Chain A
């Protein structure tokens, strides 16, 4: 679960200005190098557009998506870097039965493979569809962007942010938000007036600026409420329901059994059956 003591405004945050992205895909390569991810055999146009590989996978934690569009009669590209959003209150961390996902105080949401039992609930829960599974293996684990936690811990920047020549800034969340606001204010015509990730899923440690409307670029429209709150509103009732149910049924059973016992005793008394010889002795002992 999200660490309530950690300060959200200090979480290390990616500010990805897609208007500055050149589509060089250095980030994809750097990511594979640092995380030692295998190559995927790809062919051109196997997916929707120029992007390759056609989808994120256990071998691909980040990917530049290409969007064709026309401007003044010219063909143009817009880009969108797909990666884990490192939510402030991650859905994956809240649904994992063994707590294999943790939102670190530094910002990245990290995954503890040693704990994972492989139930894939994180994949169902993630609103951005980020966790991927090692489908090729007999005993698969989940794979996802680590936010380069091993680097961030030591004061370095993530591999993709280090490599990116133009578009990625990395720093405290409040600084990055202020920077994004400043850019929006200075060049209102240049940007689509929204900061994706500022409030999405309750706020994330990856925020985007774009030129295109968000949905056209392939950004998912997600709820602004932190996702863990959706399940917690039901789960928080669990102890109460357990006690009410147990207590209520115990009471009902006790009354019903008591009624039954009294009825039996009454019936016995009214029946005027001559007590057997052993009877008085037994009675005494009961009383």
Chain B
């Protein structure tokens, strides 16, 4: 056994048991995806001609994308709207987003029948396809997140030149992130506009893309709350509930606007019966009451906004609501009254569980080895450069003008 391998094994042995469990789940998922490629989609998943899209599209793509929306939301809040005190939350959000999107790409490749031809979207354009739009955006945005993620990596290894380029790129990247995310978050809703007469009227209306975008914004903020609270509880980072209060102050406004759009669209823009399927109606009510109305009312009260525990509770309710919403739109609402019910197979479930476990695992590992939290924004001048010699300055021979 080589020395390097011995070091790695000793390192892994030192991990917390929870991390070892996560590693186990990821390994299981890798094995399950191998099984999918050997035995085919039909025999390993419960998808069929009635259910061409199963758990992998509903969760790994349609739900995971809004769950990874924290990076673009917070980037815009901090850098464009200049609420600078939230800066310490940005880097963990970028890591979460980057991991999320990378895993979306992996999930999508597993689900495609011809993953080796995935690059075809880059060559054979069909601008009429929402799927084309989303795949281009996801590729572009994953690249943007990767560039943003490079900052801590460069800091870790002390690469100063790339850091300067990245600093210079920061604002353009933040703006690109928000614009690209607006497009594909909403286009995920456009997917289901083609399912006329299939998706139930409770969800089908022409404003579905707008609703998908708005819900991505409040989900992004909730994920940041969840992630910051978890990191405080389990990774020994400082309590950020004072910063999170800013987010809980914005949340009721976004939730309220979303609710208004949702109800108006349902009342005025949908055709056909709304209340003919009791099961769907129940799902819809749970989604709206637990996922939107309750957290909105909760965060309207100041004492709740400040309270660490209530912040987590509200954010979890919002996240639950959005997950249910995406499943309602992409799966439950598409089931016709006379169809057999789909449920995911063992392989499908193992892969999706592994993707969630992988996200947690890689986040903890990145936080362990890279300066994700040890970022001191107060030492950095984030103002737009108004002339070009500022950074080079006159301090020849000094350490470069970047924080390391």
Chain A residues engaging chain B, CB cutoff 8 angstroms: 1, 55-57, 91, 94-100, 115-121, 123-125, 127, 129, 132-142, 220-223, 225, 227-228, 230-235, 238, 241-242, 245-246, 249-250, 252-254, 256-261, 264, 278, 282, 285-286
Once bound together, how far apart are the Cα atoms of A238 and B132, in whole Å? 12
Chain B residues contacting A55 (CB-CB under 8 Å) are 49
**Contact status A124-B196, CB under 8 Å:** no
**Contact status B49-A231, CB under 8 Å:** no
**Contact status A257-B113, CB under 8 Å:** no
**B55–chain A nearest beta-carbon distance, Å:** 14
Nearest residue, chain A, Cβ from B172: A250
Residues facing A in B71-116 (CB within 8 A) are 76, 79-82, 111-116
**Contact status B117-A245, CB under 8 Å:** no
B14 within 8 A of A: no
**Contact status B389-A285, CB under 8 Å:** yes
B133 within 8 A of A: yes
Chain B residues engaging chain A, CB cutoff 8 angstroms: 37-43, 47-49, 52-53, 76, 79-82, 111-118, 120-121, 123-133, 135, 171, 174-176, 178-180, 182-183, 186-187, 189-191, 193-198, 206, 209, 334, 383-384, 386-387, 389, 394
Q: Which 7 A-B pairs have the closest CB atoms?
A: A118-B113, A135-B42, A256-B82, A123-B52, A97-B132, A97-B131, A120-B52
Once bound together, how far apart are the Cα atoms of A46 and B313, in whole Å? 51
Once bound together, how far apart are the Cα atoms of A278 and B396, in whole Å? 14
CB pairs A–B below 8 angstroms (29 shown): A56-B49, A91-B194, A95-B131, A97-B120, A97-B132, A99-B124, A115-B120, A117-B112, A118-B113, A118-B117, A134-B42, A136-B40, A136-B43, A137-B42, A141-B113, A221-B197, A223-B196, A231-B190, A231-B194, A235-B127, A235-B133, A241-B182, A250-B175, A253-B80, A256-B82, A258-B384, A260-B82, A282-B394, A286-B387
Interface-central residue, A117, A256, A282, by most chain B CB under 10 Å: A117
**Contact status B193-A230, CB under 8 Å:** yes
Q: Which of A95, A241, A242 contacts B194 (CB 8 A)?
A: A95
Once bound together, how far apart are the Cα atoms of A231 and B53, in whole Å? 19
Nearest residue, chain A, Cβ from B194: A125
Chain A residues contacting B194 (CB-CB under 8 Å) are 91, 94-95, 124-125, 227-228, 230-231
**Contact status B80-A252, CB under 8 Å:** yes
Chain B residues contacting A225 (CB-CB under 8 Å) are 196
Chain B residues contacting A121 (CB-CB under 8 Å) are 129, 131, 191
**Contact status B133-A135, CB under 8 Å:** no
